[in-house]
Structure formats: C-alpha cells, structure tokens
Amino acid sequence: MTQSGFFDVEERLARLSGLGDQLEAFSQTVDFEVFRPELNKALAYSDRSKGGRPPFDPVLMFKILVIQTLNNLSDERTEYLINDRLSFMRFLGLGLSDRVPDAKTVWLFRERLTQAGAIDVLFNRFDATLRNAGYLPMSGQILDATLVAAPKQRNTNEEKADLREGRIPQDWQDKPSKLSHKDRHARWTLKFTKAKRQDDGSMPATDLAIPFFGYKSHVSIDRKFRLIRKWKATDAAASDGARLREGLLDKTNMASTVWADTAYRSKANEDFMDKHGFVSKVHRKKPHLKPMPRHIQRSNAGKSVIRSRVEHVFADQKSQTGLFIRTVGITRATMRIGLANIVYNMRRFLLLERINASA
C-alpha cells in the first residue's frame, strides 16, 4: 500500500464532486455566514481574557447541526462520521490534521442554542435570505400538522395519573437522574389511518386508530414555492385548529387565501381569518349522521388538489432526514423540529435555484 498524499485527497474530493456531493451543493448555494450574528448573540461567549482553549467557530458548529439533521445522526455518530468522511470535512472546512469537535461539544453547542431560544431567530434569518433571493411568500398559504415520534415512556399508572394532574411523581423527584430521562411534555394521541382492503375485496366500515406518542409539527407553507414560512411545535395531543390563531398564519403572504383540512374548520377560525383579511379555503366537514352533499364533495376535492402539496413537505422530512425526537422535553423537541424546518428550506432552496439555472 502506497502512502497517500495531498493530491490523492484532492483527486478523491474531485471524484466525490463528480458523483454529486449534496453538501458541496449546500456550500455553493447557502451562505452560512448570514447566521453568524445570531449565533454569536445566542452563544454569548466570553472574551477569553482568562485564557483557556477557544471555542470552535459557531458557523462550523451550526453546519455540524445541519449535517446531523440531514442524516438523522446521534452526537456520537456525528463525531465518528466527521472524522471518517471527506465530504463532511470539506463541507466544514476541516483538513485531515484539524481538530474535530467531539460528541459532548456538539451536544453542548446545541443545548446552548436551545436554552437561548435561538431556533426562531435562526429560522427567520434564513427566511430573510430566501426573500432576498426573490422567493417571496405568494399565491396563498397551506396549513397542516404531522406527528413526530419520540421514545415511548414506560410509566406506571400512578405516574401517569400524576402527570395528567401536572405533578412530578415523587419517585422522580427523589431520583434526579431518572427525572432527567423522563419526557413530561410528550403526549399520547390516536393516529387515524385508512383500513386495508380485506382478502375478499371488501373495505372495512371503520378506520384504524393507532396509539402514537410524541410531538406535533405545525407548519404554514406558501403555495408558490412550497417553503415553510411559519411553524410551531406542540405535544402530539394538541389540537391542530387552535394553532391557526396562535401565529401560524403568515400575514406577509402576497395572497390572502388559506387552505387547510377539516381539523382547522371552526367558527373561531373562520371569524379570525375574516377579521384579519384572509380568505378561507378550509375543507368543510361532513354533516353529523348525514351523507356529504355532492356540492361540498366537489368543493373539497378541488381544495385537496392544492392542499395536498403540504403533505410533500412532511414526506420529505420523514423519508429524507428521518424526522424523529431523540431528546427529552418540549424545548429540545422544538429545537429539533426547527432545525428540520430550516434544513428542509435549504434543500428546497437548492432545488429552486437549480430549476431557475436550467430555465
């Protein structure tokens, strides 16, 4: 085996470029320096007048979070792959002899941003970048929510009763290490899905209700570019419709039309949209114990053609980046969902730029 040299590494990187390195496309299209002011403000590092090892560059660390989110990696796996993959090193601007952040450093960086509540500011910073590039929210907006799984909790009936009452079980209070691993914010809910056709070809009369534990990601995308413009994270049992009145609507969209499924249909929401100048295209519900009128069926079908575009966003996040909550608590879950939304917008930005370049 011959000893590798500088030109061997360059040749391998050139080959990776030829094979289509997604991270290289990120570096060429996304200006990560735009995040630096917000990162510096959130991290609030000292001036190191007392000495000590300087922290890693915040933009480099943020790019590590992007790698994590793109590939659904744990902190330990992230550390290993940065050391192992030339494509990761190139994206981060690291050489073979450069120091690589370990798993604990990655965790501390993300935790510091989480506790500073920086994810909203970072999301808005990239949204401003999209607008400056010409991708203004237009043609109306589409609202929807998706369930995001979290590790199931093995709680006793007594512990469940305490949690429902908003209390911390006494056993958890006596064992801080146990409490730190218990997610008191994630909730159980039922996920309804269509039943499969039977062997005889008939369809069951009722849908399936599957228990689900975790959180919920609520988004509003613009109809034109399908970019996420507003978002919110809640526990899985939270109502979809109530979020509409809690800042999920994008008032900067150049059109006033709002599409959403029947979960968002309520008098309170219709009054709210009418008061703020929005035009509702929310699906109408089936009358109780009555067949759906034909004209409402046709109306809902027409709305579904447009509303279904938001489903592609969630499908992309779950199939391409494996959206899943590994952490404990709503604050960290919000950070995870927010990062997934930023990375989705980055990937969408790459696609839109590629389409424009070939037009």
Let me know whether 32 and 93 are in one domain. Answer: yes
User: Does residue 180 belong to any structural domain of this protein?
Assistant: no
List pLDDT tens digits, range 297-310: 899 899 999 999 99
Measured from the Cβ of residue 242, the count of other Cβ atoms closer than 10 Å reads 16
Let me know whether 100 and 131 are in one domain. Answer: no
Looking at residue 51, its pLDDT comes to 60
Query: Which of the residues in the chain have pLDDT under 70?
Result: 1-7, 46-52, 205, 359
User: Does residue 340 belong to any structural domain of this protein?
Assistant: yes
Let me know whether 107 and 206 are in one domain. Answer: no
Let me know whether 222 and 194 are in one domain. Answer: yes
Let me know whether 68 and 28 are in one domain. Answer: yes
User: Does residue 168 belong to any structural domain of this protein?
Assistant: no
Rg (CA), the chain: 23
The residues, any chain, with a CB within 8 Å of residue 72's CB and separated by 6 or more, are: 321, 322, 323, 324
Q: What is the pTM of this model?
A: 0.91
Looking at residue 1, its pLDDT comes to 45
Separation of alpha carbons 147 and 211, rounded Å: 11
Residue 260 and residue 307 in contact, taking contact as beta carbons nearer than 8 Å: yes
Residue 140 and residue 255 in contact, taking contact as beta carbons nearer than 8 Å: yes
Looking at residue 135, its pLDDT comes to 97
Let me know whether 233 and 316 are in one domain. Answer: yes
Which among 116, 134, 164 is the end of a domain? Answer: 116
SS3 299: helix
Strands 279-282 and 228-235, by their bridges, are unpaired
List pLDDT tens digits, range 242-267: 999 999 999 999 999 999 999 999 99
User: And the tokens for 142?
Assistant: 């589409």
User: Does residue 167 belong to any structural domain of this protein?
Assistant: no
Separation of alpha carbons 284 and 281, rounded Å: 9
What are the distances in angstroms from CA 243 to CA 143, 166, 214, 293?
10, 22, 17, 28
Let me know whether 299 and 207 are in one domain. Answer: yes
What are the distances in angstroms from CA 34 to CA 22, 23, 60, 124?
20, 17, 13, 11
Residue 282 and residue 262 in contact, taking contact as beta carbons nearer than 8 Å: yes
Q: At what angle do helices 103-115 and 58-71 cross, to 10 degrees?
A: 100
The residues, any chain, with a CB within 8 Å of residue 297's CB and separated by 6 or more, are: none
At 345, the amino acid letter reads N
Question: Per residue in 277-310, is it b (16+ CB within 10 Å) or e — as a string?
Answer: ebebbbbbeeeeeeeeeeeeeeebeebeeebeeb
User: And the tokens for 338?
Assistant: 């927010």
User: Does residue 77 belong to any structural domain of this protein?
Assistant: yes
Let me know whether 99 and 137 are in one domain. Answer: no
At 188, the amino acid letter reads W
Let me know whether 85 and 139 are in one domain. Answer: no
Q: Where are the alpha helices (DSSP H) in 20-71?
A: 22-29, 36-43, 58-71
The residues, any chain, with a CB within 8 Å of residue 93's CB and separated by 6 or more, are: 60
Closest CA to 232 of 143, 114, 135: 143
Let me know whether 84 and 144 are in one domain. Answer: no
Question: Per residue in 85-121, is it b (16+ CB within 10 Å) or e — as a string?
Answer: eebbbbbbebeeeeebbeeebbbebbebbbeeebbeb
Q: Cα-Cα-Cα-Cα dihedral of 343, 349, 351, 357, to 10°? A: -150
User: And the tokens for 206?
Assistant: 């009722």
Let me know whether 35 and 126 are in one domain. Answer: no
User: Does residue 36 belong to any structural domain of this protein?
Assistant: yes
The total number of structural domains that make up the chain: 2
Closest CA to 109 of 68, 70, 150: 68
Which among 100, 116, 132 is the end of a domain? Answer: 116
209: domain CATH number is 3.30.420.10
User: Does residue 73 belong to any structural domain of this protein?
Assistant: yes
**Domain hosting residue 14, numbered range:** 6-116
User: Does residue 162 belong to any structural domain of this protein?
Assistant: no
Let me know whether 56 and 137 are in one domain. Answer: no
